[in-house]
A and B are shown apart, each in its own frame.
Chain A
Amino acid sequence: MSAETSIPSDTVEPTPTSAGAYGPDNPAPVIEPPRARTSRSPKKASRTNFEMWAWLFMRLSGIVLVVLVLGHLIIQLVLDGGVSKIGFAFVAGRWASPFWQLWDLGMLWLAMLHGANGLRTVINDYAEREKTRLWLKTLLYTATVFTVFLGTLVIFTFDPNIQ
């Protein structure tokens, strides 16, 4: 991001080579093992397995989202004239059924948490200054909690007879 951020000295960046012939004069680049501790690693080892659970959650929620999201796209954008049919009456018709209410609720929660956790990873990767990370994550978590809360409220308090 800025000139202050430099590559730590214990990271060896691979240099581009023209030929694939490595030897004593042209050593193959060293790439640090994924779990090697560098100067950028946290000072204290974490006591929880949060990152492992987050990793697993991305995969499990991804599988469920394939069904929920693709089903949603087919119903909303493909069947019965595509997007042209969507309107208040169409929404009222679908949310008259608890099945579709639960479908949409599950999709809302899983997609928001999956997406928010994905964005957390992206922030961790690119925002290097402690303060920038903190601000971006505060913004992300606020927007996520707000959106999940609002969406849940809308699904549960929907009133087809609102004037």
Chain B
Amino acid sequence: MPAGTLYRGREGMWSWVAHRVTGVLIFFFLFVHVLDTALVRVSPHDYDTVVATYKNPVVNLMEYGLVAAILFHALNGLRVIAVDFWSKGPKYQRQMLWSVVGIWIVLMAGAFYPVLQNTLRTLFGS
């Protein structure tokens, strides 16, 4: 690895790739999401029909994926801000990345049941 390179080929580069991929993904979802929400202006029935697809198990799983993308982007975004504005940010960027990953895992575990409860309840009854 070239000396003096903070990021290239290391964790920092991959966190940048992940930040970029999640950012683009969220943007495309947001575009679709504004369109589906606009249906409340058409008719309650049409809106409820489209929202019903969000409750389908496969789409519900994709929502969990969306939560994963947003949580990573948000936590890593705060890390990027800390690297830019906090005087010790660049020094601790690596530790902050692993903190981001740790917090992300905890939050994803905590979100598992609440976000997927619609699917879990329809698939496994009660």
Binding site for B on A (CB under 8 A): 14, 17, 20, 22, 28-29, 31, 59, 62-63, 65-66, 69-70, 73, 77-79, 81-84, 86-89, 91-92, 108, 111-112, 115-116, 118-119, 122, 143, 147, 150-151, 153-154, 157-159, 162-163
Cβ A151 vs Cβ B37 within 8 A: yes
Question: When A59-B84, A73-B70, A112-B30 are in contact, do A118 and B48 touch as well, CB less than 8 Å?
Answer: no
Judged by DSSP, the binding face of B is helix
Question: When A62-B78, A88-B48, A115-B30 are in contact, do A83 and B55 touch as well, CB less than 8 Å?
Answer: yes
Determine the chain B residues whose CB is within 8 A of the CB of A82 once the complex forms.
114-118
CA distance A82 to B80 in the complex (A): 31
Cβ A150 vs Cβ B38 within 8 A: yes
**Residue of A63, A73, A86, A159 touching B51 (CB-CB under 8 A):** A86
Shortest CB-to-CB span from B55 to chain A, Å, is 6
A/B pair count, beta carbons within 8 Å: 116
Determine the chain B residues whose CB is within 8 A of the CB of A88 once the complex forms.
40, 44, 47-48
Shortest CB-to-CB span from A41 to chain B, Å, is 21
Question: When A78-B115, A119-B24 are in contact, do A83 and B41 touch as well, CB less than 8 Å?
Answer: no
**Residue of A65, A87, A150 touching B74 (CB-CB under 8 A):** A65
**Residue of A17, A78, A83, A158 touching B40 (CB-CB under 8 A):** A158
Q: Does any Cβ of A come within 8 Å of B124's Cβ?
A: no
* 23 A-B pairs whose Cβ atoms sit less than 8 Å apart in the complex: A20-B1, A28-B2, A31-B4, A59-B85, A62-B81, A70-B70, A77-B114, A79-B114, A82-B114, A82-B117, A83-B63, A84-B117, A84-B121, A87-B48, A88-B48, A91-B40, A111-B30, A115-B30, A147-B30, A150-B34, A150-B38, A151-B37, A157-B41
